[in-house]
Amino acid sequence: MKQSRLLLFFAFLVFAFVLTACNDNNNTDGKIPFNENRAGESVISIDQAKQYQANFTSARDSLGRLLQDSTFLSRNFNLPNGESFTRDAIILLLNQAEADGIRIYYGKDNAGVVRLVLLPIDKNGKDIQTTLIDRGQTKVFSIPGIPSAQAAPQRELQAVENGQTCPPCIID
């Protein structure tokens, strides 16, 4: 009797182990885990996305026609249809300590192209300003009469940009 209970208990343990092993949390499918309910708060239909983009391009074109200088927008405030970023750039932001999301700022580069600048944010919506990638840059100081010295590298605060702008891109 004791032996059959022990055998039953052992079989239960093996079954439980196999069951939990099948529920693999190692995420071998290459997908990043997420909270579907929370993500769903930001999801819109592709039709709505297409309408938003059409509204934007129409308003941009109308603004260009209204300006006396028709080249002003392209020279000083070039508004692309979109900008893409690599998976690695997004993961880099989300992997920062306390990161709970990403804020996208609009910026303008020296050529007048409107750019998206991405920063991680914490759960309170506060920007996280940090060194995203340590490039190991050493500062060399030159003081007259004193041999050159190297200081410990200063931590550079960084953001993500340099996405690929795509003026011809249209959601299709």
Per-residue pLDDT reduced to its tens digit, 136-172: 655 555 556 555 555 555 678 888 777 777 766 777 7
**Same domain flag for 89 and 111:** yes
Which residues form the domain of 50?
42-77
**Same domain flag for 137 and 100:** yes
User: Does residue 100 lie within any of the structural domains?
Assistant: yes
Average pLDDT over residues 3-21: 50
**Same domain flag for 64 and 112:** no
Radius of gyration from C-alpha coordinates of the chain: 26
Nearest by Cα to 96 from 28, 34, 158 = 158
| Most confident of the following: 17-31, 53-67, 141-155 | 53-67
The predicted-structure confidence for 74-90, as pLDDT tens digits, reads as follows: 788 888 888 888 888 88
When divided into structural domains, the chain yields a total of: 2
Q: Of the residues 50, 77, 104, which one is the last residue of a structural domain?
A: 77
User: Does residue 32 lie within any of the structural domains?
Assistant: no
Q: Look up residue 61 and give its amino acid.
A: D
Q: Of the residues 54, 77, 100, which one is the last residue of a structural domain?
A: 77
Q: State how far the Cα of 165 lies from the Cα of 135, in Å rounded to an integer.
A: 25
Would the pLDDT of 20 be above 50? no
**Same domain flag for 155 and 101:** yes
**Same domain flag for 108 and 162:** yes
Would the pLDDT of 3 be above 50? yes
The pLDDT value given to residue 79:
83
**Same domain flag for 119 and 69:** no
**Same domain flag for 139 and 159:** yes
- Could you tell me if 69 and 63 are in contact, meaning their C-beta atoms sit under 8 angstroms apart? no
Would the pLDDT of 119 be above 70? yes
User: Does residue 103 lie within any of the structural domains?
Assistant: yes
Give 120: exposed, middle or buried? Use CB within 10 Å, 0-12, 13-18, 19+.
buried
